[in-house]
Structure 1
Amino acid sequence: MKALEADYDELREGDPQGRLFNDDLAPARASDRQWNSYALFSLWMNDAHNASNYTFAAGLFIGTGVIMGMTPLSIVIGVFIATFIIFIACCVSGLMGYETGAPYPVISRVTWGVWGANFPALVRGIVAIAWYGIQTYLASISLELLLMRIFPPMQHWTASFVGLRLSGWVAFLILSGIQLIIVWRGMEAVRHFQGAAGPIIWVIMIGLGVWMLSQAGWDFRWTVNADNVTPPIGTQFYQIFVTVGLTIGTLATLMLNFSDFARYAPSRRSVVMGNVLGLPLNWTAFALTSVLCSAAAIKVYGEAFHDPGDLLSRIDNDVVFYVVSIAFIVATIGVNIVANFVSAAFDLSNLNPRKISFRVGGIVSVIASIVVTPWNLYGSPTAINYFLGSLGALLGPFFGILTLDYFYYKRSRVDLRDLYSPNPEGRYFYRGGLNTDALLGFIPAAIVALCIALVPAFSKVSPFSWFIAAPLGALCYWIVQTLRGNKPLPTGSGD
């Protein structure tokens, strides 16, 4: 494997000013490749078992937006189909990381050029920072409730600053500090945290589901929604397809940068097995658990809850409350580190490798996540839809273009020396460090993606924006390459 054969000294000598290379962005060494199948499975456990995904699954059951209340069976089918598609996409992006040993922003240089890669990395980084803040805020709700029950005077800390009460600030800053400490210790600390947290959270979630069902008298039906109605079959099929689109949209960020983690895998088999266990099986089971809790809540409390924090506030059993609160907090820390923190740190480091290390990128991410006041973002559907929705829509074209270029045009063959070299003669320098072909392919696909995501007339198809944008990005790039007369590398040839 070229990544393991790379000479670090040679890569440093090729970039003496550190404009493209630092130890964090460098290809993973053999000793770094400790993320086996279980580690990647744990990554997905941490990514699935959190407050926002509970809210997502519960929302499908209760009924929000284009989803008018789904049955548990429809949700299970939709999530399973979606996560199977995501499994394939993450194996594709994961193999890029495994083969090169490089994180996503560095791999993007293959397609976008050594300087042009900062564009997709910056977009992905902004999305990661915003969602990092939102996830931290959602977990801080559970921590705030926990602290209030332990220390009742906190209930009177009602003074508000930029939209968040003092008790909320305390919980938010505590969680930000914990996450920074974990990432500060490096990717091995992330691996160990996830390996321990994943199965513990699963046991607790299953326990919560069983406890809620017992409180509801074990009354659970697969084929009725929260209103105790079975939707028409045509409606159910549409809802399943929408669920597939929304679920894929939820994981579009991690599909793009899964190479950040797969670069540490010891084998291709580890990547595939970790993904198959963690995605179709694990995610579908968690969605069912979330719906089960929502259905039971209707029987027990007379209403279903979108937000697990609202459900927690109604639990009067102290043991259950403390255990589940801690589980949601730990789970959200896990998903935040996986889906947002690590990506943002690598993306920021890629902007200026000499001055911004992985750790410095993490500090900047934490500060930026506070500045954007994520509680206000989360409380504003307009901000979510137009700001994060528009940026998220761009991830589809990024994925389609990179995948086609890496596997078809480059035939998975990468020169690591040129990947980390600012030399104008390097094969990834293109035109001034930017591959204009990628930009020309991206623009029309991005315009279509943004229209689908933002224009109200396309609201019925907006859940399928990634499905449309990713292949469209690849198609536009193929058209540009064809018009320029560029052909893929011959199969089985050398560099």
Structure 2
Amino acid sequence: MTVESDNNNLIEESILPITNKNRTVGMFGYFSIWVGIVVMIVAYQFGGNAVASHSLAVSMVIILLAYFTIGVVMLMSADIGTEHGLSFAVYLRAPFGINGTHLPVVSRGIVAAAWFGIQTYLGALALNGIFEYLSGYSNWFLWYILFAAVQIINTMLGIKAVERFANLAAPILIGISVWMYFYLDGLAQLGGHNIWTFVGTENTPLLLIFMANLSLWAALAVDVPNISRYIKVTSGNKKFFKRNKNIFAAQIIALPVLSAFMAFIGAIAFIATGNWNPITIIQENQGGLVLIGLLALVTIAQWSTNTAANLIPATLAFVNALAPRMSYKMGVILAGVVGTATMPWLILDHLFTFLGFYGGALSAVAGIMICDYFLIRRRRINIPELFQRDGQYRYMKGYNPAGLIAWVVAGAIAIKFLSIAYLVGLPLGFIIYYLLMKFWIIPKYPQAEIDSNYDDRYLSTSVNQDWVYTDNGFVREKYDQKVKETDEALAPNPVQID
């Protein structure tokens, strides 16, 4: 079948697979990106809320366990990016269909955009505090617009620009966070409080604390391929741990340990003053360069979180939905506009409800993705067909009923049990999707990678090959040689250009 690329709404340059030679972010760069992601004001609140009901030690163990659990989910999802160079939105064409993918992906994109708005709002408040202190002039919305514009431009410049900023920001964020710990610990001692013997008077269940912290990263747990597709990979290796060695430090150290440390600071702030927000505490007790430096930390923290965790996922979601009319740069702008339109300053008043609902819905998507990738397809994927309008992922008029039914049913049940949403939604989505695919969809809609008895030709990095989009459609490219013609057995209806 021959089509022109500008008539194919499945193709846009920024959502094509990233080839191995174009993966430029190393282990340190990815670690730095994650340091920037996890250092954010919202994390302080989770520590304060936990220690208000339990001892500091118990609170930290529960929070660390939650972050470690979601880190493992991320490791599994990230393999979609490291193996095939695919974005979250494009991969979901396999379990949801080429049209069905837009439902979960755009939903996630709107949530990511809303988070962008929340983080930008918090950063704008910090900027406003600096300039109000220096000049007496106060206008947080002006700083919101300017701060949003700077982040949008940074993200427009691509993943290398995001990585460079993260490399600069990471040591600054860690250093100031450590200083903040000693400052707050001293404040607690002055107030006669021992942080390790303090026990709060509230009675929030540990399970609810665990689930709240888990939900904080529920969104990135599903769309982490948007970032991992840029990570340098040890090619020609089918062993999961060796192939993904550059992502382990970020997902198993930066995410759980540093996130827990941010919660730890919030907990100490609560013990010392009854307020979980150390920024407010220090702002009330300090001035001069200390105050300016602290508020600068807030700004950098929101910036470093926003670019990788919120703007890139939202952008790729919108590009996938509106390709080829929506370019990557236009998608970044749209993400900023949508994030502002959600009025994030109002969402903050209902943050835990917000986290619970979207965490429950996305937990089902995580279960479906993991089932589809590891169990149904065994990491194989027919890359060219993901960009084919009438290919194997069309299913029923572009929708895969298995994915949609599993998402709606598992997501609804997860939200029904909001306090344990993620623990319900992920396994339920996994099981429902597996049964529907195994006994309904696969017999009716043949899947080449499965019918081939999981041929290794449907792998990518593991077998030293990429799928590259050219003027003649998709071609397989070995790292040591280029396959000049599209393999008809893999792509019976290759996308081509006249």
Quickly name the TM-score band, shorter chain normalised: 0.7 to 0.9
Specify the alignment match of 2:228 in structure 1.
262
Cα distance between partner residues in 2 of 1:291 and 1:332:
20
Q: After the TM superposition, which residues 124-163 of structure 1 pair with which residues of structure 2 at under 5 Å, given as runs? A: 124-152=108-136, 154-155=137-138
Equivalent residues in 2 for 1:187-226 (5 A)? 187-217=159-189, 220-226=194-200
SS in structure 2 opposite 1:224? coil
How many residues are treated as equivalent by the alignment?
439
Contact 2:195 2:268 (8 Å CA) reproduced: no
Displacement of 1:493: 3.4
Pick from 436, 442, 445 the counterpart of residue 480 of structure 1.
436
**Aligned residue for 2:310?**
340
- Where in structure 2 are the equivalents of 1:407-418 lying within 5 Å? 407-418=374-385
Structure 1 position 104, deviation (Å): 0.5
Identity of aligned residues (%): 21
- Measure the CA separation in 2 of the matches of 1:28 and 1:203: 34
Q: Is the 8 A contact 1:78 1:244 kept in 2?
A: yes
Equivalent position SS for 2:92: helix
SS state at 2:13 partner:
coil
Of 367, 380, 396, 1:400 maps to: 367
What one-letter code is carried by the residue in structure 2 that aligns with 1:75? S
The separation in 2 between residues aligned to 1:132 and 1:491, in whole angstroms, is 43
What is aligned with 1:493? 455
TM-score (norm 2): 0.82
Code of the residue aligned with 2:18 in structure 1: it is A
| Separation of aligned partners in 2, 1:431 and 1:92 | 28
Contact 2:44-2:264 within 8 A present in 1 as well: no
Residue identity opposite 1:405 in structure 2: D
- The Cα of 1:293 is off from its aligned counterpart by 3.4
Tell me if structure 2 keeps the 8 A contact 1:136–1:176. Answer: yes
| Residue 107 (structure 1) shift | 0.9
Measure, in 2, the Cα distance between the counterparts of 1:479 and 1:223.
50
The question of whether the paired residues in 1 share the 8 Å contact of 2:266 and 2:276 is answered with no
Q: How does 1:283-294 map to 2 (within 5 A)?
A: 283-294=259-270
> In structure 2, how many angstroms separate the alpha carbons of the residues matched to 1:385 and 1:349?
29
Is contact 1:51-1:139 (8 Å) kept? no
Normalising by structure 1, report the TM-score: 0.83
| Residues 482 and 70 of structure 1: CA distance in aligned 2, closer, same or farther (over 3 Å) | same
Residue 429 of structure 1: aligned partner: 394
SS state at 1:430 partner: coil
Q: How does 1:48-67 map to 2 (within 5 A)?
A: 48-61=38-51, 63=52
Distance 1:489 1:399, change over 3 A: farther
Please tell me the residue identity of whatever aligns with 2:267: V
Partner Cα distance (1:440, 1:185) in 2 = 38
- Structure 2 Cα separation of the partners of residues 360 and 286 of structure 1: 34
Matched, 1:438 2:403: yes
Return the alpha-carbon distance in structure 1 between the equivalents of residues 451 and 182 of structure 2.
56
Which one-letter code corresponds to 2:142 in the other structure?
V
Contact 1:410 1:489 in 2 (8 A): no
Task: Give the SS at the match of 2:14.
Answer: coil
Work out the CA distance in 1 between the residues paired with 2:188 and 2:411: 48
**2:106, 2:81 → 1: CA distance?**
19
Code of the aligned partner of 1:398: V
2-side partners of 1:354 and 1:490: how far apart?
A: 32
1:75 maps to which residue? Answer: 59
C-alpha RMSD of matched pairs (Å): 2.4
- 8 Å contact 1:145–1:313 — kept in the other structure? no
For residues 111 and 339 of structure 1, the distance between their equivalents in structure 2, rounded to whole angstroms, comes to 23
Cα contact 2:124–2:144 (8 A) shared by 1: yes
Corresponding position of 1:326:
296
Unaligned runs of 5+ in 1: 1-9, 64-68, 156-166, 454-461
Q: Deviations over 1:321-341 (max 9, x none)?
A: 111111111011111222211
Structure-1 residue corresponding to 2:477: none
